[in-house]
Amino acid sequence: MPIVVTRSPLRLLVYVLLAIPAVMLAVDMNLSHRFFPLPEGNEVVTGSSVAPDGEIHYQTGRHLTAQGAAQQRRALAAGAVLLVGGLGSMGWAMRELLWPKVLLRADSAQLTLRIGSRGEPLASFPWPSIVELRSGIIDDDGEDVPVLSVRFSDDVMMLHDPAGAMVEGRWVHLFSEDWSPPAHELVPLLEHMRRVSTPANDDS
């Protein structure tokens, strides 16, 4: 039975839940102002009208001070960033939820990984080319990241600077923080599949 890995639906839902307040804040900063204060300004008379009974009605408008104009420019810039980022994150997460992208697939013949230059192409490796699989934690720019580590029988020349992975000689460390199922649950299954598929190459 093939093993298929996609992104964790729970993590994707978290992205959606985080994106919603970002979009709402962007709208509030520039339109509704229910929680975000209005830019500094003063009410000024902009016109007047005379009612049939002769009473004069004045129309007023808000005139921004210099400080208020600067506040408005900052709010517009921040709101645009929040709106684009929130909608982008929400759209990406919803697409992944509705049409899950396969990140890893394993069957009796090969291990297939999504590790192209942009994480898009699926690269397949026959089991005899794989020596060992492990799960663990590595440091990625000061952050501890869970990984699935795959050791190949030869240097993986085609995997220089892959997306979502790190190459160290014959080891390829696949970043697995958003995988479902997680790497530590996959390793026993993948190792069993590798050993059954390549008993003659078992290095134990």
**Confidence tier at 200 by pLDDT (50, 70, 90):** low
In a domain, 84, yes or no: yes
Residue 158: predicted pLDDT: 58
Contacts of 115 (CB under 8 A, 6+ apart): 121, 123, 159, 162, 163, 164, 165, 172, 174
133 pLDDT above the threshold of 80: yes
The span from the CA of 109 to the CA of 113, in Å, is: 13
Place of tokens 């590595």: 138
Angle at 150 between CA 145 and CA 152, to 5 degrees: 145
Contacts 24+ apart (CB under 8 A), 105-112: 105/2, 105/3, 105/4, 105/5, 106/2, 106/3, 106/189, 106/190, 106/193, 107/2, 107/3, 107/193, 108/193, 108/196, 108/197, 109/197, 111/150, 111/190, 111/194
Are residues 122 and 86 located together in one domain of the fold?
no
Q: How many independent structural domains does the chain possess?
A: 2
What is the span of the domain harbouring residue 187? 104-201
Are residues 123 and 196 located together in one domain of the fold?
yes
39 pLDDT above the threshold of 90: no
Are residues 179 and 196 located together in one domain of the fold?
yes
**Confidence tier at 9 by pLDDT (50, 70, 90):** very high
Are residues 24 and 89 located together in one domain of the fold?
yes
**Listed residues 64, 79, 98: the one ending a domain:** 98
In a domain, 1, yes or no: no
For position 145, which CATH number holds?
2.30.29
Residue 204: predicted pLDDT: 45
The structure's pTM equals: 0.71
Mean pLDDT of 80-102: 92
Residue 121: predicted pLDDT: 60
Are residues 60 and 28 located together in one domain of the fold?
yes
The span from the CA of 133 to the CA of 149, in Å, is: 6
**Listed residues 67, 98, 129: the one ending a domain:** 98
Residue 113: predicted pLDDT: 87
- The answer to whether 164 touches 174, Cβ cutoff 8 Å, is yes
In the predicted model, what is the mean pLDDT of the chain?
Answer: 85
Are residues 92 and 116 located together in one domain of the fold?
no
Contacts of 62 (CB under 8 A, 6+ apart): 38, 41, 42, 43, 44
Q: Is 47 helix (H, G, I), strand (E, B) or coil?
A: strand
Residue 162: predicted pLDDT: 73
**Confidence tier at 45 by pLDDT (50, 70, 90):** low
* Element containing residue 134 per DSSP (H, E): strand 130-140
